[in-house]
Amino acid sequence: MSEQSTSPGADRPAERRLAEETVEPTRDTLEVEQRAAATDRSPRAGILSGSVGHNLGLVVALALICLAGVITVGDRFASVDNMVTILRLASTIGVVSVGMTFVITGGGIDLSVGAILALCSVWATTFATQTMAEDTHWLVMVFVALAVGAGCGLVNGVLIAYGKVVPFITTLAMLASARGLAEIISERRTQIVSVQEFKDFFGADVLGVPVIVIIFALVAAIGWVVFNRTTFGRRTLAVGGSPEAARLAGINVNRHTVMLYVLVGVCCGIAALMLISRTTTGSSTHGQLYELDAIAAVVIGGTLLSGGRGTIVGTVFGVLIFTTLTNVFTLNNQDTSTQAVAKGLIIVVAVMLQQRLARRSAAT
């Protein structure tokens, strides 16, 4: 080995040359970097890049849709009765969407919510169930709907968590099975609700607000508290972000996954009761394409399809945006095909924005 390469004195000229060759930042470069850093640290940038900024964008989108409704159909859209109608229609799919938010945030997906809702509505309105409700109490119908929904969710959760079956396949199988079972039980007939106390309770208004709208508000509020203020919500985010890291942190990932699917099943049971009260029927055709509407509302609201991030407030805005958009299309006599195309475009744009935000988050 040569003396030049081993002598400390020989290294100094090389270090000096390396330092001289290093490009020192100019004054303009430093000013630009300082401005960028100041912009990143500014409160406005922090707010706009966070959940508040995202929700603000949803509010603006909803306001623009309402403005389009006022311009195109005037008082027919802006009337109080029409606003109540929008909220009434948004309530059923809204409850399902709250449950779907938990499942997607936890890294899963549920394509069977519409079929589970149909099965709940049919089972809760069978002749035997209604006879028992008339002999005892109308809450029997409520219990049956919730139990059927929770049972379907339990089957989904066990197969996914312990059977290691992909959520997409499991819930797709449940979609077909639950819809088929509902058709067998009802013999493809519409079952009329005859329990008057049930219809009186769910069909009532409180200060002009329908009970089903109040139920939706309560479910959303409870969902927000559970999601943001409890250990269950934090574990949902952890499981969705990285199941392996969550397991190493001491979380029972399998049990938590089962609980998430039971939760969305219970939400389907609640939504079934709301739909039964609105139509006074139980039918195997209830809840058609609800899975797509719920997933769309969740995605529009800002919940990542890959899991690990979700928002109940955003989901509520997503439901209101889709329901209001449908109402505007209907009042303008647009057919369902046009509505489907518009919804599809909105979903594509929302997913593209999500992917862009995810890449930016990964880069930072």
**Residue 306 DSSP code:** T
Q: What is the pLDDT of residue 147?
A: 96
Mean pLDDT, residues 56-73: 86
Give the model confidence (pLDDT) of 317-347 as tens digits.
999 988 998 898 888 888 878 877 877 787 7
**Residue 205 DSSP code:** E
In the block, tokens 């060759």 appear at 21
Give the model confidence (pLDDT) of 65-121 as tens digits.
889 888 888 888 888 899 999 999 999 999 999 999 999 999 999 999 999 999 999
Q: Is the pLDDT of residue 157 over 90?
A: yes
Residue with more model confidence, 27 or 302: 302
> Is the C-alpha dihedral spanning 321, 55, 344, 277 positive or negative?
negative
Give the model confidence (pLDDT) of 288-298 as tens digits.
889 988 998 99
Burial class of residue 360, CB neighbours in 10 A (0-12, 13-18, 19+): exposed
Q: What is the pLDDT of residue 149?
A: 96
What is the rounded CA–CA span in Å between residue 194 and residue 28? 79
Query: Angle at CA 218, nearest 5°, toward 217 and 222?
Result: 120
Q: How much is the mean pLDDT over the chain?
A: 84
Lowest-pLDDT choice from 37-41, 78-82, 125-129, 141-145:
37-41
- CA distances to 131, 225, 226, 227 from 230, rounded to whole Å, are 40, 7, 5, 6
What is the rounded CA–CA span in Å between residue 260 and residue 12? 63
pTM listed for this prediction: 0.82
What is the rounded CA–CA span in Å between residue 24 and residue 30? 10
> Nearest CA to 161 among 268, 251, 100, 87?
251
Q: What is the pLDDT of residue 60?
A: 85
Mean pLDDT, residues 304-308: 86
In the block, tokens 């630009």 appear at 32
Q: Which amino acid is at 184?
A: I
The overall longest dimension of the chain from CA atoms, in Å, is 104
Q: Is the pLDDT of residue 199 over 50?
A: yes
Give the model confidence (pLDDT) of 5-34 as tens digits.
344 444 444 444 444 444 444 454 445 444
Burial class of residue 110, CB neighbours in 10 A (0-12, 13-18, 19+): buried
